[in-house]
Amino acid sequence: MNEYFTSLSSAASQPLYYPPFKKRNHGHYYLYQPHRYVTSAGENNGNTVEAVQNSEEPQGTQMSALYPEILAIIFSYLPLQDKGRACQVCRKWYNTIYQYKSLWKNIEAKIHLSNNSYSNKIIMKNIIKSIVKRNITRIQILSTNNNNINLLFKNNYMIRSLNLSGLYNLNDNIILNLIIVNVNLNKFNHLTHLNLSLCKLLTDNSLMYICKFMNRLTDLNVSGCNSISNNSLLVIYKHLSELKHLNLKSLWLINDIGIGYLCGVGVDLEEEEDSKDISFMIPRRGGVSHSRLNSSTSSSNNLNELINRIDSSNSRSSGVQTGDDNSNRNETQERSNAEGAPSNVDNNSSNSNLSVNPLVKSLPRKYLTSHLETLILQDCQRITDESIKIISTSMTSLKHLNLSFCINVSDNCFKYINKMPHLNELILRSCNITDTGIEYLNSNLDNLTTLDLCFCESITDRTLQHLCVYILNLKHLYLSHCHISDTGLSRISKTLFNLENLYLGQCHSITDASIIQFIQSSALSSEPSADHSRSDSELSRRNESNGRLCSSRPDSERRLKYIDVYGCKLINYNVLLNALAQSNSTIEINFGL
């Protein structure tokens, strides 16, 4: 197309000539670049037009000429700090980065809210507005004071993930004030992840109101909150119907009774009907006392004032319970405990019974915990085998179970673990288990891919022999500080072909021979050796004897990628390096040097 433009310069008043766009071979036009072709109309003779038409094609396109969609794709490969720098280049880049919210999708903002000065509050408001504009929904608060946490929920901002880990001064007053200010504004409808780990001042009061008003949670982490007891697990069971991941690490006050509450065992239906009037543990200076929250509580205690404000705004129609109701409630609780409620279990007691009381009616299906996928009970030292029995019958979709440092868990727990067909990861680090317990496992755990037996000193080669027959889909095996030898490892190298990571740190009985066997078996070869064919026939014969069907040998010889031999005294560093150099194996070996 030919167009004439009027020049803005006073010296040249003649119109300008713009030549037509050139077409590429594949049919697309070049981007609009008038500065490369504009000439004066007075100089428009045959030579000029011919020179312009025969000019070379442009070698590239400037960044300023790219469409915002293309810029967004380019910016998606930048790290977080470079995205912030790119916003300061020009207005076009600034608008592009803020317009496309997907560029800030998986970013977690970390902020401090501890300074109460007026200037700092203004700065924090600007920072929060910037977070809202970027549509960042994952927030971690590194420090906070009284009511500064409420700044996050202003401006109609919806947070999906809130990380309050390690806030030593986070107490019940701050949590309850946060709920009071925002509960009527529906600010918690989008909150799905909440991390309260190492908040040691939190008690059952805070967790009970969190579960009641943040009932959309799918991931809850309360590890290290030492003041949380079995009562909190009861409220989790009643209110968090969508919970999938629960971390109860180092909660020393919970026991088999709390696990029973979490699974709906021993919960009376009358308590569910009176869920609006829950008994809370209110901390006072003289100690901890059980009291019923009602609207007549004195205003001298700040915590009680906050609780009264919540009850008055959400339970006006429910009324106030009288003392007679409290006495009847206590009598009902004592009667249920006398009839079928479980009691505390210690190391020497094996007669504890956590079966469902036939007098207790079944709860609605929405409260069942069959959807829970991850349960971490690490360092819960009061947990026994009875808890594992209840978990195996109630949590049918459980995929990850962590029982590390549970010293009261014995070999009998494997009888119930074997009834979890969907289990993928089983962590039993530093537990009092032996080879006898491992032998309870059978082919029901075909989905098990991760097994951690580190620091279980009673584990020997018998365990490895059993795993090679029944648990064939293992990908990650942790055997650090176990009494295993080259005999057990040689069997693993011939059977567990899906194994990817093997941890053998501080196993003082293994030598170079077993590690070299792994290296040789992982080397790529076109023809299987005679030893491999012998092991294949032996494995197929065992599978037939056990009534199982599985392929004798996978397409690739081995998937092993990593071996950890840190602290193994009989391992020679130079011998293994020479074995790796002579073979075409891609295994990475950690010597801990």
Q: What is the Cα–Cα distance from 462 to 411, expressed in whole angstroms?
A: 14
Please tell me the predicted confidence (pLDDT) of residue 475: 95
Residues of the chain short of pLDDT 70, as ranges, are 1-61, 116-119, 146-147, 155-157, 267-369, 524-558, 593
Please tell me the predicted confidence (pLDDT) of residue 311: 52
* Nearest alpha carbon to residue 3 among 21, 22, 17: 17
Tell me which CATH code domain 410-524+556-590 carries.
3.80.10.10
Crossing angle of the two packed helices 512-522 and 573-582, in degrees rounded to 10: 20
Torsion angle, alpha carbons of 74, 79, 80, 84, to 10: -50
Please tell me the predicted confidence (pLDDT) of residue 410: 93
* Nearest alpha carbon to residue 558 among 582, 529, 579: 529
What kind and span of H or E run contains 163? strand 161-163
Please tell me the predicted confidence (pLDDT) of residue 60: 60
pTM: 0.71
Q: What is the Cα–Cα distance from 477 to 464, expressed in whole angstroms?
A: 10
What burial class does residue 266 get, using C-beta atoms within 10 Å of its C-beta: 0-12 exposed, 13-18 middle, 19+ buried? buried
Residue ranges covered by each domain of the chain: 64-105, 107-228, 410-524+556-590
Q: Is 312 helix (H, G, I), strand (E, B) or coil?
A: helix
Could you tell me the CA-to-CA distances from 17 to 30, 31, 85, 89, 531 in Å, in that order? 18, 18, 40, 33, 83
* Nearest alpha carbon to residue 586 among 522, 521, 503, 494: 522
Please tell me the predicted confidence (pLDDT) of residue 180: 83
Check if the beta carbon of residue 147 is closer than 8 Å to that of residue 174.
Answer: yes
